[in-house]
């Protein structure tokens, strides 16, 4: 009897150490919108999961909507709330790139875009992998990396961990993948789980197993589906579960085998060799903040003003980079501020427009909108012009914060910097339209649509420019367009250079500049009624789709890329002068100080100045 008791006790101890088998479902890439097909695919998945025995919990790994809008997020939640077991959810790029709330609605509706829980001795961590508002590669923010490191350190090095992101953690998908893998490789990471590619794939992220799962959408099949994971004391087994069918195992990983070690020296890292090739360019100073930065810097009275992802507007000395003060808003700052009359004006995702004293950082005034304020600011003659996500564009007195006028017939949300030209204020929105309003009254003068067929083709991220009676834009349909400034009629539209959302104007207003989506910068004439290319330069920056504008100063054109590169070209010839790689993440529109200096910000949280030590024209 004693032997039987000891045998049973031994088995109980072993089982408690090893943990019992458990199963969970993973849903990803739901892409719910007004379209009933995606909604029905999710509904059927929820119904089948509820009928399946032994599903202990559900993980949802992003792209739960098509356009990141509040209505679609609520529709998804209404279905997920029907699950009989707990679910844990994080966001995807469709919730962060296209988001009327500045990617804040997701957290408000689901509680957070991070999750943390422990099940049968395994820690699960899920977090956003971007990008936020700006079109770029995926990106894990500095604050999310800090959170993840803290949670892992608390859990311990030997216990098993499963990490969940939307994007694959590899080059070409997430620009700072190596920051994540380096941060976690000293821990017992068993796998990264995710989606994004809409099909079942196995990767390794610097040696760490990566499991990418099918979309919930039916695609070309008659039914949709999801993934089921079975965790045993020895293995992680992965099944594809099509609606109405039996699950099919397609992958497995050992939970005992070591797939990687703490040494990262054998894995690819960003290449900074161009900095040796153009060694006359130096970093005068760089401040590494603790938050992502999605707006461009503003220079005013020998200071640099920067808004960040934690909601801070910070003031730095232009000469040294020393922080002078900071002002905290209630949520992330996405739009680029503007400064005039001793006041810095900016919008926040907390639904407010702020006027802050440029010297002291003290609040001068605030104006409350109905939704997030993501638009960049333009100030002209003491009036700040800014758009918000409440379908409203406003003109506000810079000194008092009083509303001068508002236009309430915008159909989409606004993130662009408005253009002031010939008595008009001109801006795009995420509704396919470019608007022209009377600058003094806010009365609508015209709207341009260009027969764009999808919201994602909107001229909404580009900062419009104008010359010779024409307004010039580029849009995600990969076209450059000239529009009559008086009538809103299309003068010409060309797809020849496959540009996207970047445009710049020369100081003499005779030339347009734009990045193509592969390696080159092109220059077009602003004159005439047909597109005329003047030059094209192969800058060799690779595939490029970031909405950072090109800016000319003293005969030099400055530009930047999604992969951390700032470059300079001669304005008249297009000759490449230099390139410098600051990091591996998006550099927003830079601010030139002279022909040899520029101020930059990056999504990885850097603010700094680059200077070319020798330049002769």
Confidence of residue 7 (pLDDT cuts 50, 70, 90): very low
Indicate the helix (H) or strand (E) that contains 8: helix 2-18
Please answer whether residues 503 and 465 qualify as being in contact, where contact means their C-beta atoms are separated by less than 8 angstroms: yes
DSSP string, 416-470: SPPEEETTEEEEE-TTS-EEEEETTT--EEEEE-TT--SGGG-S-SS--EEETTE
In angstroms, the CA 571 to CA 513 distance is 9
The mean per-residue pLDDT over the stretch 581-602 comes to: 98
What are the structural domains of the chain?
Answer: 20-254 (3.60.21.10)
Residue 485 DSSP class:
T
Confidence of residue 36 (pLDDT cuts 50, 70, 90): confident
Task: Quote the mean pLDDT of the chain.
Answer: 95
Closest CA to 589 of 414, 349, 338: 338
Confidence of residue 1 (pLDDT cuts 50, 70, 90): very low
* pLDDT single digits (tens) 439-465: 999 999 999 998 998 999 999 999 999
The mean per-residue pLDDT over the stretch 464-487 comes to: 98
Adjacent-strand bridge partners of 65:
32
* pLDDT single digits (tens) 179-222: 999 999 999 999 999 999 999 999 999 999 999 999 999 988 89
Confidence of residue 617 (pLDDT cuts 50, 70, 90): low
pLDDT of residue 195: 98
Residue ranges with strand state E in 75-177: 87-90, 115-119, 122-126, 160-164
pLDDT of residue 453: 87
In angstroms, the CA 160 to CA 453 distance is 47
For the ranges 7-16, 86-95, 105-114, 116-125, which has the lowest average pLDDT? 7-16
CA 367 distance to own-chain centroid: 26
All residues at 6 or more sequence positions from 411 whose CB lies less than 8 Å from its CB, including other chains = 391, 429, 431, 433
Is the predicted pLDDT of residue 229 greater than 90, yes or no? Answer: yes
Angle (nearest 5°) at CA 203 between 198 and 205: 120
Please answer whether residues 81 and 49 qualify as being in contact, where contact means their C-beta atoms are separated by less than 8 angstroms: no
In angstroms, the CA 599 to CA 424 distance is 29
* pLDDT single digits (tens) 149-177: 999 999 999 999 999 999 999 999 999 99
The mean per-residue pLDDT over the stretch 384-413 comes to: 98
The mean per-residue pLDDT over the stretch 244-269 comes to: 94
In angstroms, the CA 463 to CA 553 distance is 17
Angstrom CA distances, 157 to 143, 151, 160, stand at 21, 11, 8
The mean per-residue pLDDT over the stretch 315-334 comes to: 98
Please answer whether residues 169 and 134 qualify as being in contact, where contact means their C-beta atoms are separated by less than 8 angstroms: no
The mean per-residue pLDDT over the stretch 279-285 comes to: 97
Q: Which residue has the higher pLDDT, 7 or 311?
A: 311
pLDDT of residue 5: 33
Q: Model's pTM, two decimal places?
A: 0.92
In angstroms, the CA 439 to CA 426 distance is 9
The percent of residues above 90 in pLDDT, for the chain, comes to 93
pLDDT of residue 25: 98
Is the predicted pLDDT of residue 9 greater than 70, yes or no? Answer: no
Q: Checking DSSP bridges between strand 57-61 and strand 87-90, what pairing results, if any?
A: parallel
Please answer whether residues 252 and 241 qualify as being in contact, where contact means their C-beta atoms are separated by less than 8 angstroms: no
């Amino acid at each position: 009897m004693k032997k039987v008791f000891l045998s049973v006790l031994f088995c109980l101890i072993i089982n408690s150490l090893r943990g019992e088998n458990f199963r969970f479902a993973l849903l990803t890439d739901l892409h719910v919108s007004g379209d009933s097909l995606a909604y029905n695919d999710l509904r059927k998945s929820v119904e089948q999961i509820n009928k399946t025995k032994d599903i202990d919990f559900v993980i949802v790994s992003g792209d739960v909507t098509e356009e990141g809008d509040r209505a679609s997020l609520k529709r998804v939640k209404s279905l997920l709330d029907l699950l009989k077991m707990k679910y844990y959810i994080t966001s995807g790029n469709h919730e962060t790139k296209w988001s009327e709330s500045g990617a804040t609605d997701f957290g408000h509706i689901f509680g957070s875009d991070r999750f943390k829980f422990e099940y049968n001795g395994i820690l699960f961590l899920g977090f956003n992998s971007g990008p936020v508002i700006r079109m770029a590669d995926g990106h894990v923010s500095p604050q999310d990396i800090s959170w993840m490191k803290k949670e892992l350190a608390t859990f311990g090095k030997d216990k098993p961990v499963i990490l969940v992101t939307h994007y694959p953690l590899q080059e070409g998908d997430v620009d700072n993948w190596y920051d994540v893998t380096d941060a976690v490789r000293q821990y017992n990471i068993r796998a990264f789980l995710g989606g994004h590619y809409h099909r079942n794939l196995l990767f390794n992220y610097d040696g760490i197993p990566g499991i990418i799962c099918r979309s919930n959408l039916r695609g070309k099949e008659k039914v949709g589906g999801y993934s089921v994971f079975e965790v045993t004391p020895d293995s992680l087994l992965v099944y594809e579960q099509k609606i109405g069918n039996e699950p099919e195992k397609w992958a497995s990983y050992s939970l005992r085998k070591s797939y990687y070690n703490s040494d990262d020296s054998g894995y690819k890292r960003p290449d900074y060799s161009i900095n040796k090739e153009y060694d006359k360019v130096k970093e005068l100073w760089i401040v590494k903040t603790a938050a992502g930065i999605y707006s461009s810097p503003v220079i005013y009275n020998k200071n640099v003003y920067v808004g960040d992802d934690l909601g801070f507007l910070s003031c730095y000395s232009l000469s040294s980079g020393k922080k002078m003060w900071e002002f905290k808003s209630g949520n992330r700052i996405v739009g680029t501020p503007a400064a005039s009359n001793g006041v810095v004006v900016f919008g926040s995702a907390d639904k407010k427009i702020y006027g802050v004293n440029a010297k002291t950082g003290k609040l001068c005034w605030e104006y409350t909108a109905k939704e997030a304020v993501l638009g960049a600011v333009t100030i002209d003659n003491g009036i700040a012009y800014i758009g918000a996500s409440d379908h409203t564009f406003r003109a506000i007195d810079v000194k008092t914060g009083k509303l001068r006028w508002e236009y309430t017939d915008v159909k989409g949300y606004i993130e662009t910097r408005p253009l002031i030209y010939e008595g008009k204020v001109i801006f795009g929105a995420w509704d396919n339209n470019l608007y022209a309003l009377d600058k003094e009254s806010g009365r609508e003068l015209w709207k341009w649509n260009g027969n764009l067929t999808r919201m994602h083709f909107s001229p909404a991220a580009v900062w419009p420019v104008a010359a010779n009676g024409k307004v010039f834009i580029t849009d995600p349909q990969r076209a450059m367009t000239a529009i009559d400034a008086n009538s809103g009629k299309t003068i010409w539209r060309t797809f020849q250079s496959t540009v996207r959302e970047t445009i710049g104007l020369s100081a003499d207003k005779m030339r347009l500049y734009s990045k193509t989506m592969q390696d080159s910068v092109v220059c077009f004439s602003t004159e005439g009624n047909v597109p005329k290319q003047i030059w094209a330069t192969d800058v060799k920056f690779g595939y490029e789709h970031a909405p950072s504008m090109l800016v000319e100063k003293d005969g030099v054109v400055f530009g930047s890329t999604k992969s951390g590169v700032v470059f300079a070209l001669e304005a008249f010839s297009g000759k490449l002068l230099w390139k410098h790689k600051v990091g591996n993440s998006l550099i927003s529109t830079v601010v030139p100080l002279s022909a040899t200096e520029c101020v930059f910000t990056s999504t990885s949280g850097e603010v700094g100045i680059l200077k070319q030590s020798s330049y002769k024209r």
